[in-house]
């Protein structure tokens, strides 16, 4: 795992920002479920579920040694401890996890029955794609800074569930400039299952235009579609989509490419 690798972080700016936003969303749901909104966003979830829980002594010792040598920010260290202890807690309690506040939460908390997603999954992927982060007025991902946002807004945020490394790599590929994504739609190919996706990148102060389509070669390649459409030479329509929708399409294409041919 790379820590504070500037070049790697910059190369993965888009995916790291998406992964951090997904972590903030998941962390909000976990904090809401356990009545710990004041601890959001960077916390050790085992302190909410099983206060005082620790992994095996040798694991804790190796963890603290690693954090002391490699991880410079307390916030990042806290989530690393949480991820390791969470994995140990799940292993120790392969069935139902301990829940010290269950009766109280059943009376007061409508979120307690949610099937909560793995809290640390997006954060661990982020660490693998350029290291940690630092916190201040914004969350600094070393290449891009993102706002914290409001706690309650993350409870209703759109999930980002396409976390396959190949999908994240595709989002990062050549992702320089201000990017807008589009889906090509037609009869039988709605926004949720488009014929294809494109992106327009505006690069530099002059906004130099780069139009690209995501192809079956699993990469972004130049396209004239948007220019032709603007000139009235293409009948296939398109709509603006989110980066999350683009990621979902990329994952479907990558999955189809990896599937064995039908006999």
> pLDDT (tens digit, 9 = 90+) per residue, 72-91?
789 999 999 999 999 999 88
- Residues 133, 11 share a domain: yes
Q: How does the average pLDDT of the chain come out, rounded?
A: 88
Q: Is residue 160 part of a domain?
A: no
- Residues 103, 62 share a domain: yes
Q: Is residue 1 part of a domain?
A: no
Of the residues 126, 155, 184, the one at which a domain ends: 155
- Residues 97, 41 share a domain: yes
- Residues 139, 95 share a domain: yes
Q: 203 pLDDT exceeds 90? A: yes
- Residues 151, 26 share a domain: yes
The predicted pLDDT at position 210 comes to 97
- The pLDDT of 151-161, averaged and rounded, is 93
Identify the domain containing residue 184 by its residue range. Answer: 165-258
**β-pair type (196-203, 178-185):** antiparallel
Q: Is residue 242 part of a domain?
A: yes
Q: Is residue 104 part of a domain?
A: yes
Q: Is residue 101 part of a domain?
A: yes
Instruction: Report yes or no: 2 and 142 within 8 Å, Cβ to Cβ.
Output: no
- The pLDDT of 120-133, averaged and rounded, is 93
The predicted pLDDT at position 190 comes to 94
**In which region does residue 131 sit, left (phi positive, over 0), alpha (psi from -120 to 50) or beta (all else)?**
left
**Quick one: pLDDT band at residue 95, thresholds 50, 70, 90?**
low
Q: 180 pLDDT exceeds 90? A: yes
Q: Is residue 142 part of a domain?
A: yes
- Residues 110, 210 share a domain: no
Looking up tokens 């920010």 gives 73
- Residues 139, 170 share a domain: no
**Quick one: pLDDT band at residue 70, thresholds 50, 70, 90?**
confident
Model confidence, pTM: 0.86
The predicted pLDDT at position 215 comes to 94
- Residues 235, 130 share a domain: no
Per the structure, the count of domains in the chain is 2
- Residues 171, 148 share a domain: no
What is the spatial distance between Cα 127 and Cα 79, in angstroms, rounded to a whole number?
A: 11
- Residues 199, 102 share a domain: no
Residue 216 is encoded by which pair of tokens? 């079956």
Of the residues 100, 131, 155, the one at which a domain ends: 155
pLDDT by residue (tens digit) across 223-244?
999 999 989 887 789 999 999 9
- Residues 93, 60 share a domain: yes
The predicted pLDDT at position 5 comes to 81
The predicted pLDDT at position 249 comes to 94
């Amino acid at each position: 795992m790379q820590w504070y690798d500037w070049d790697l972080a910059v190369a993965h700016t888009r995916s790291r920002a998406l992964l951090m936003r997904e972590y903030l969303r998941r962390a909000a749901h976990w904090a809401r479920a356990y009545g710990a909104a004041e601890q959001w966003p960077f916390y050790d979830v085992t302190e909410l579920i099983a206060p005082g829980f620790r992994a095996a002594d040798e694991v804790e010792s190796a963890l603290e040694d690693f954090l002391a040598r490699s991880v410079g920010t307390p916030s990042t260290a806290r989530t690393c401890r949480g991820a390791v202890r969470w994995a140990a807690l799940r292993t120790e309690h392969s069935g139902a996890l301990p829940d010290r506040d269950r009766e109280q939460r059943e009376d007061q908390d409508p979120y307690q029955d949610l099937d909560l997603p793995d809290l640390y999954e997006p954060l661990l992927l982020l660490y693998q794609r350029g290291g940690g982060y630092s916190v201040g007025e914004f969350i600094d991902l070393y290449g891009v800074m993102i706002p914290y946002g409001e706690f309650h807004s993350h409870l209703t945020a759109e999930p980002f569930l396409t976390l396959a490394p190949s999908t994240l790599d595709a989002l990062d590929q050549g992702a320089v400039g201000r990017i807008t994504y589009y889906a090509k739609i037609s009869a039988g190919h709605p926004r949720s299952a488009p014929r294809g996706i494109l992106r327009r990148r505006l690069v530099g102060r002059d906004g130099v235009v780069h139009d690209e389509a995501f192809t079956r070669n699993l990469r972004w390649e130049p396209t004239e579609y948007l220019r032709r459409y603007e000139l009235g030479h293409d009948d296939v329509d398109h709509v603006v989509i989110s980066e999350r929708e683009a990621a979902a399409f990329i994952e479907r294409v990558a999955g189809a490419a990896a599937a064995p041919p039908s006999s």
